[in-house]
């Protein structure tokens, strides 16, 4: 069976610091991978998706970037965090009919 991991679970970072969030998937090959952000009390905003190693599509221009160095690894990064980057970050992989299955999420607070 497939499982998806994210870490860290929570993160508090100062403005201007770098960011690296990691997501890994087990039990499947060449999945579609997704990064979403959810502001408090809001819906999900798609940030990036990837259909294969090194293939990244960006949905929202911002100071975040994503990389997929391995088939089942998806990384979300920033060189300098902004206050507006605070939120709940969710990674997902696409299953049958591209139903998306989500990881446990990372709660990021930028101070």
User: CB 21 → another protein: shortest distance, Å?
Assistant: 14
- Cα–Cα dist 24/92, whole Å: 10
Question: Counting Cβ atoms within 10 Å, is residue 56 exposed (0-12), middle (13-18) or buried (19+)?
Answer: middle
- Cα–Cα dist 3/78, whole Å: 26
- Give the three-class secondary structure for 87: strand
Residue 35 lies near another protein (rule: CB under 8 A): no
Residue 29 lies near another protein (rule: CB under 8 A): no
Judged by CB under 8 A, which of 12, 79, 104, 109 binds another protein? Answer: 104
User: CB 16 → another protein: shortest distance, Å?
Assistant: 26
Judged by CB under 8 A, which of 11, 46, 53, 56 binds another protein? Answer: 46
């Amino acid at each position: 069976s497939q499982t998806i991991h994210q870490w860290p679970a929570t993160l508090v970072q100062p403005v201007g610091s770098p960011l690296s969030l990691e997501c890994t998937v087990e039990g499947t090959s060449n999945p579609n991978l997704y990064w979403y952000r959810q502001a408090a009390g809001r819906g999900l905003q798609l940030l990036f998706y990837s259909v294969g190693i090194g293939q990244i599509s960006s949905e929202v221009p911002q100071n975040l970037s994503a990389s997929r160095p391995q088939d089942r690894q998806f990384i979300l990064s920033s060189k300098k965090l902004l206050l507006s980057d605070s939120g709940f970050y969710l990674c997902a992989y696409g299953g049958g009919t591209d139903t998306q299955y989500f990881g446990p999420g990372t709660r990021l607070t930028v101070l």
